[in-house]
Amino acid sequence: MSELIKIAVDAMGGDGSPKKVIDGVIHNQKQNNENFYRIFGDKSQIEKCLDNKIDQKFYEIIHTETKVKSTDSPLEGAKRGKDTSMWLAVESVKKKESDVVISAGNTGALLVISKLNLKMIENIDKPALSALWPNKKGMSVVLDLGANIECSSKNLVDFSIMGASLYKSLYPSEQPKIALLNIGSEELKGNEIIKETFKLLNEKKTENFDFLGFIEGNELMNGKVNVIVADGFTGNVALKTAEGTANFIIDELKLALGGSFLGKISSLLNISNLKKFKKRLDPRLYNGAIFIGLDAPVVKSHGGTDYIGFSNSIDVCNKIIKGNLIDKIKSNI
């Protein structure tokens, strides 16, 4: 057996933990024999959830009864001490005992604890929160999604390079195509920072990515670009708007097809297409945001996702380690 990818799992973060997290680990292990899970949290609770459903050669439990609460502020989460499941999981990556860390816990606390334990990659000033979004042709990497409200043009250029490196790690056979999220596609649109970023990226000659200029909010999912860059304020608003729109469409479709007799007949006739449509918009498929810019990868699973979503986040951990994300960023920056 080739060397396993060591994944540090914060078992006590997110809704329904540790059961949801451990169910995600069990589901992931059934589909993938490449991972070794270093599970941090309350041993008795974790063992009860595991119930001997995976071979012991694929995991170990590091016991702690202390955890970061979802209601903690980022600083409160960090101040809970170095024996919380989140801190110990991140610290194991710092000590090179794990390759990557994943948590469904408090996002702000995870970012602060990660920044306290891990160094920034040289020449990068700020880490960014990135995630995957569906588009007509496949998937896009989008960043920053809320880690930095204000950004300089250098930060946005760094995010572009990191986003392209992440995309290449996840999809090695495809070329990253970058665009800046803006209020218009013309060069004169937008604030001074984004116009300066446009100029810098336009002048940057590299084989690592193609720069395609500006993109507007209504073009995010048309598939012309696959790396979308914004400051954290803009990116977070765009993300929440897209999520809300997807949920609205699914809910309205359910009402339309489930209300009247004609709607029910129509839904039965179109059941195959409806299942494909629902699967395409299933947020669990795109679960797993990534803090990039630190010298080790940190993956944030959505706190409210189920075990399938958490398992998909573990897949993201696997891919970014196999794709040598950190080395790619270091060489490209």
In this structure, the answer to whether residues 153 and 117 fall within a common structural domain is: no
Cβ pair 13, 86 in contact under 8 A: yes
Please count the other Cβ atoms lying within 10 Å of the Cβ belonging to residue 254: 14
Please count the other Cβ atoms lying within 10 Å of the Cβ belonging to residue 9: 35
Cβ pair 170, 320 in contact under 8 A: yes
In this structure, the answer to whether residues 72 and 150 fall within a common structural domain is: no
Cβ pair 301, 102 in contact under 8 A: yes
What are phi and psi for residue 7, nearest 5 degrees?
-110, 120
In this structure, the answer to whether residues 275 and 297 fall within a common structural domain is: no
> How far is it, in rounded angstroms, from Cα 50 to Cα 54?
7
- List the chain residues with pLDDT less than 70: 1-2, 256-287
pLDDT of 205: 81
pLDDT of 87: 97
CATH number for 16: 3.40.718.10
Which tokens go with 194? 């984004």
E strands, 162-313, are 177-181, 210-215, 227-229, 289-292, 298-300
R_g (Cα) of the chain, nearest Å? 21
Q: Which structural domain range is residue 78 located in? A: 1-124+293-333
In this structure, the answer to whether residues 43 and 130 fall within a common structural domain is: no
In this structure, the answer to whether residues 120 and 138 fall within a common structural domain is: no
CA distances to 22, 39, 235, 245 from 69, rounded to whole Å, are 18, 18, 26, 30
Greatest Cα pair distance, the chain, in angstroms, is 63
In this structure, the answer to whether residues 239 and 299 fall within a common structural domain is: no
In this structure, the answer to whether residues 108 and 130 fall within a common structural domain is: no
SS3 helix, strand, coil % of the chain, rounded to 5? Answer: 45, 20, 35
93-126 burial: b if 16+ Cβ within 10 Å, else e: bbeeebbbbbbbbbbbbbbbbbbebbeebeebeb
pLDDT of 263: 54
In this structure, the answer to whether residues 144 and 190 fall within a common structural domain is: yes
In this structure, the answer to whether residues 130 and 120 fall within a common structural domain is: no
pLDDT of 58: 96
In this structure, the answer to whether residues 130 and 250 fall within a common structural domain is: yes
In this structure, the answer to whether residues 74 and 132 fall within a common structural domain is: no
> How far is it, in rounded angstroms, from Cα 295 to Cα 115?
10
In this structure, the answer to whether residues 162 and 214 fall within a common structural domain is: yes
pLDDT of 249: 75
pLDDT of 1: 47
Which of 262, 286, 310 is where one domain is finished?
286
**Cβ burial, residue 246 (10 Å; 0-12/13-18/19+):** middle
Q: What is the pTM of this model?
A: 0.85
pLDDT of 230: 95
Which of 269, 286, 303 is where one domain is finished?
286
Query: Total structural domains in the chain?
Result: 2
